[in-house]
Structure 1
Amino acid sequence: MAQNHARKNQPHARRKTLEPRVPAWVWLFTGCILGAFIMFLMRLSEMDPIQKIGRKPSPSSSESPKTDIKTPATPRFVFYDILKENDVTIPDFMKESPLEIAPETPSVASEEEYILQVASFKNPKDAEQLQVQLILLNLEAHIEKARIRNGETWHRVLVGPFESRSQREKARSTLVSNQYEALVLKRTPNHSSP
């Protein structure tokens, strides 16, 4: 039995042509409108707030337009004049004796010093290498030997002592920015090992 294969292919071809398609001019028009809107928004963001407000609607034909432009009022400060007119009287107890400042007494805080421990090594060459790296970072680094409980000697790499907290924090931030962790130690001066 002979079959006609041409009829089977025809409905398939018709389906493709019947699909709704958006014309190219619609896409072009939509793209142009979208681009113009984006340009408008960019221009709007560059404008001053006064320009954004724009012009107010023009008055009706019966009213004449106002042409006077308001100038911003300059601030006027009166306290300059008030200060010239007022006299300040100083009490007698302040005239007789000037303020005396008590001499600074050494406090408990001055009996302690703060240092930063950067690392601790068994090998003294490793400690010396780190000390050189810290000196190149413009820090006062020194090595201190410490004996621990089982009799081993460790070489601590220390930075400091510091006269003020701000110097200590500046040195610590320098260490942290160069990937060194620092431990803050508080101890009495001239103390070689805790």
Structure 2
Amino acid sequence: MAKGRKAPRRGASRAQPKQRRAIPGWLWLVGGLAIGLFVAFLFQLEPGRDGVRRDATPKPTPQPTRPAPVQEQRPRYDFYTLLPESEVLVPESAVPATPPATPATPPETSKPQVATRFYLQAGSFRQRSEADRVRAQILLMGLDVQLESAKLNSGETWYRVQVGPFQDRNSLTQAQQTLTGNGFDNLLLQQRTVNLN
């Protein structure tokens, strides 16, 4: 059942809105005079007038007397003039016609040649099956990949999936971009020095 409005009782009067009081005329007059005087005062403060300008000259501040700074004596370089004057002429008879023969150096002993190779570690796994799965994915991308097992001090064996070796940084960067583009984000760069004999 819907509730309706109550019916007005007989003899009840409507609520009369409150009437606003009018502001007396003398208050308007005083307010207008105050605003007019304020505007006239602002015109009197016009910045171009001499009476309003501030003194722009700075006040002289007494400065403590300082001793005159000692000029540093910079060294004077005369070699531009001294070098041409000290030139020594060597007579032609003192210069041999043929240069002396260089002494034969003994053949170098075979020094081990050291090369730097770079690897990217694409992952490290406890189970070989997981490492083989990742290795197969990388092989399908056309990169060289190998598994390396590492024994920890606790006796656990971890299997590292390593991409490489790379001889230079350019091929390493290309491999990184290929792997990153295929979802391998956490790549660990490893640098190894290898003796080439």
The bucket for the TM-score relative to the shorter chain is: 0.3 to 0.5
Q: TM-score, normalised by structure 2?
A: 0.40
Work out which of the two has the higher radius of gyration on C-alpha atoms and give 1 or 2: 2
Structure 1 length as normaliser, TM-score? 0.41
Greater relative CO (CA pairs within 8 A, separation 6+): 2
Greater fraction helix? 1
